[in-house]
Structure formats: structure tokens, C-alpha cells
Chain A
Amino acid sequence: SYELTQPPSVSVSPGQTASITCSGDKLGDKYACWYQQKPGQSPVLVIYQNIKRPSEIPERFSGSNSGNTATLTISGTQAMDEADYYCHVWDSSTGVFGGGTKLTVL
């Protein structure tokens, strides 16, 4: 079965750039999505089809996907961005999530 690997945690200082990676075999051949989840809340879509951003998501969120790695980049990270982030792809007709990355802003 297809697997996605994310780092368990990433730390960033306020105002700096955070990069969260998601690795999988030939991941660049698939469309990757990213979700943000804060404690006690449902996930929120922040990036879809590798690079597209829902209109309500701040411009500081961006995505890329090439080779075996998809990356979620948060520029000018704010305290409110502290959350768990999950990547997601489809492998044939099966949905696959990464294990999640806890972003700490300190």
C-alpha cells in the first residue's frame, strides 16, 4: 500500500518560514492536498492540487510537489498557524494521509 511520510514535528520562530515535507514514491505524479487541524477542531483544507489555495486561506500558505516530495510552506509564520498539518493524496481509488506534523511556533 502507498505510504506518505511526514516529520512528526517542526518548530519555527514567529515571522520566519516553516517548511513541512511529505514524502512518497513518485509523489510528484499525484495531486497533493494539505490540511490544518487545531485541537478540538475539524481539519481545514489549506492547499489542494499541489499549489492551489482556497480564497479564505492566507497568502502566506503555499505548496509545491515534485519528485518524491510535496512541501507546505508558511511564510511569515504567525502564532495562529500553530497546528497539526496533514498531507493527503489518492493512490488509485484509495485515499492516503501522511502521519501528520505538529507545527510549533516559538
Chain B
Amino acid sequence: EVQLVESGGGLVKAGGSLRLSCAASGFTFSYAWMNWVRQAPGKGLEWVGRIKNKIDGGAIDYAAPVKGRFTISRDDSKNTLYLQMISLKTEDTAVYYCTTDYPRFIGSDSFDIWGQGTMVTVSS
């Protein structure tokens, strides 16, 4: 079964740091382009960033609100995606999802597989 499982969320004070993980199973993780998407309480979806696979160069792109504060990385040997967050702000409070178009719709740049999300709460 294709699955993504996020972990690492929690309560942190503004200015603090947190690292999220996304464990992938059921597909060849090293081939997938992986994304982080977040959703603040009662709000819409917001794309956070994407990391390509190493075959395609491994480029990483970020949304403007998180650029310079968030870092996306991957460990293909552990089938795991990471999101390192520093200098957290109260507006970063959200459910964080990892998602990918792989394997069913590879190259479509859609978000087919989603994890259950992990909640990050940044207090003032």
C-alpha cells in the first residue's frame, strides 16, 4: 500500500525550531518529487515547497513566506522526507502534509498521495 506518514509536529514558541518527517512506503521513494503543503486552522491549502528526485537534479523550491527559514531535505536510504523549520512564527501554525504525484501520475505535478498531516502550533 502506498503510504505517507508525517510526524514531528507539536507545540513550539515563536522563534523556535522543529523538524518534521514524512515516512514513505509502498513505492520507490527515490524516484518521487516530494512536496510539503500546509493548512492553517480553518484556512485553505498553502504550498510550502518541493524537492525533486536526485535523477532530476534534486532542486528545491520554496514558497516566499518560508524561504530562508524552512529547509526541505530527503534521505532516500530511509525513504524519508524532512522539513526543518527555524525562526518559527505564529502564522506558521498549521497542519503540515507531505504529498506527491508518484507513482500513479508521475510527471503530472499533481498531489495524488497525501499523508494524514502533523499539527504544528507556534505560540507567542
Contact = CB atoms under 8 A, between A and B. Distances in A.
Interface residues of A, number: 25
B63 A48 contact: no
A43 B108 contact: no
B111 A33 contact: yes
A91 B117 CA distance: 25
| Interface of chain B, main secondary structure | loop
Contacts of A52: 108
B44 interface: yes
A105 to B, nearest CB: 20
B47 A95 contact: yes
B44 A95 contact: no
B61 A94 contact: yes
Interface stretch (A9-17, A19-27, A67-75, A96-104): A96-104
A100 B45 CA distance: 8
Contact of A49 (B37, B108, B117): B108
B64 interface: yes
Nearest to A42: B114
Interface in B78-103: 97, 101
B48 to A, nearest CB: 8
Given A42-B97, A42-B116, A54-B104, A94 B47 contact: yes
B62 to A, nearest CB: 9
Given A1-B64, A95-B47, A100-B45, A43 B110 contact: no
Contacts of B115: 42
Interface string A40-79: 0011110011001010000000000000000000000000
Interface of A: 1, 31, 33, 35, 37, 42-45, 48-49, 52, 54, 84, 86, 88, 90, 93-100
